[in-house]
Structure 1
Amino acid sequence: MKQIHALIIVFFLSCSSSQDCPENINILPMYGVNSGVKKCKEQLQIDKDFIEECDKYFKSRKEAVSRHLKDAWAYFYKKDYDNSMKRFNQAWLLDSTNADVYWGFGNILGMQLKFEESLTYFNKSLKLNPKNSKVWLSKGTSYAQMFVKNNDIKLLNKAIDNFRIAAELDNKNVEAYAQLTMAYSYYMEKDSALVFLKITDKLDANAINPEVRKFLMEK
């Protein structure tokens, strides 16, 4: 495993060796393809070599993708978003039809406060796998954050729609119910909020913001 990691590092270091090659594209989703970035010949060769090396090292392409996704999420939860993006990009090189890759891209963009841009990748993920409750939750969260910024009620409605789908797909998704509770609290619809609060509490009583709970308990 040390050999494959060393090879990956060499690949990334060599990416910047040519002045004609766009720099730092490995920390952009899909290496910046959606932004019109085009790789130089050297970078394309690096991609080819990387894929060939993975095919030699891992038993299957699926195993290679799984390993890179595992590393990507590990970096994500450590809040090391640059290294997380690099691993998601590697997974994308290996399999551009993997729904979790696009979910990862979207989550990193969300953490970078690029909420509108994140929606593009959540939609890509959901097109490939519309049954992932967590992606609907992530998408709803981006809409909710956009609402907080713009105070456009249409964005809050879209957030609620996505949270509802997330809850319907997974009735154990406590975060979806917690978000629905908070969203309806904003609407001052206490009856609806209390319904979702009750469900949330059954799953995890600590999931609700104490201030939201206090507001809902007031007569």
Structure 2
Amino acid sequence: MKQIHALIIVFFLSCSSSQDCPENINILPMYGMNSGVKKCKEQLQIDKDFIEECDKYFKSRDEAFTRHLNEAWAYFYKKDYDNSMKRFNQAWLLDSTNADVYWGFGNILGMQLKFEESLIYFNKSIKLNSKNAKVWLSLGTSYAQIFVKTNDTKWLNQAIDSFKKSANLDNKNVEAYSQLTASYTYFMKKDSALKYLKITDKLDPNAINPDVRKLLLKK
């Protein structure tokens, strides 16, 4: 696989100097396709060569996809978001119908504080697989961050809806419950906030922000 990655890097460097080839598109989700970026002939050939190499070195396309997806997440958790995006893009080339690729795109954009853009990819992921509690949690987190930026409560309402869906899919999802507690505390809906606080504390009493707890339990 090191030979494959080296080959891809060489190809990108060789065509980056071409005036007709958009640069650095491998660190954009879907190579910038959603932003109207069009690959040049050299880049399209790179894609073809990459897939052919994968078909040669892996037993199946699924195995190649899984390998690149796992590498993408490994880089993500190391906070190496450029290399993570490159691997997610390669995984996307191998299977553009897999929901986890779009979740990965959205997570990287979220870490880059591009919350509005991240919504596009979380929703793509949910459209393909609406049963992943973690994607709903990620979607809710982006909605909540947009609320923090805009102070428009419509975003907080959407965050609450997403957190509820996450919790409904996974009743051990402590982060979803803690986010619901915080959200209802902001809205001063004490009964709802206390309901989710109780659930959160049963799962992990350290999950609630001390400031949220103090505000909620204040007489």
* TM bracket (short chain): over 0.9
Residue 75 (structure 1) shift: 1.1
* 1:35-88 CA-partner distances (Å, limit 9, x unpaired): 110000000000000000011111111111111111111111111111111110
1:197 equivalent in alignment to 2:200: no
1:165 counterpart residue number? 165
Matched, 1:139 2:139: yes
- Structure 1 residues 69-109: Cα deviation after superposition (integer angstroms, max 9, x where no partner): 11111111111111111110000000000100000111111
Letter in 2 for 1:191: D
Instruction: Using the aligned pairs only, state the percent identity.
Output: 84
Give 2:3's aligned residue. 3
Tell me the number of residue pairs that the alignment of Structure 1 and Structure 2 aligns: 219
Deviations 1:143-184 (A, max 9, x none): 101111111111110100000000001111111111101000
Structure 1 runs of 4+ aligned residues shifted over 6 Å read none
- Structure 1 unmatched ranges of 5 or more: none
Task: Write out per-residue CA displacement over residues 171-203 of structure 1, whole angstroms, 9 at most, x where no aligned residue.
Answer: 111111111010001011122111111111121
Aligned to 2:65: 65
The within-5 A match list for 1:1-219 is 1-219=1-219
Aligned partners of 1:8 and 1:203: how far apart in 2?
Answer: 45
Distance (Å, rounded) in 1 between the aligned partners of 2:194 and 2:12: 51
Q: State how far apart, in whole Å, the 1-side matches of 2:45 and 2:74 are.
A: 28
Report the 3-state secondary structure (helix = DSSP H, G, I; strand = E; otherwise coil) of the residue aligned with 1:207. Answer: coil
CA distance in 2: counterparts of 1:95 and 1:161, whole angstroms: 30
CA spacing shift, 1:151–1:4, aligned 2, 3 Å: same
Question: 2:186 is aligned with what amino acid?
Answer: Y
5+ residue gaps, structure 2: none
Q: What is the one-letter code of the residue matched to 2:7?
A: L
1 CA distance for matches of 2:96 and 2:36? 17
Alpha-carbon RMSD: 1.2
**Contact 2:167 2:173 (C-alpha < 8 Å) held by counterparts:** yes
C-alpha deviation, 1:217, in angstroms: 2.1
TM-score (norm 2): 0.96
- Aligned equivalents of 1:52, 1:129: Cα separation in 2: 28
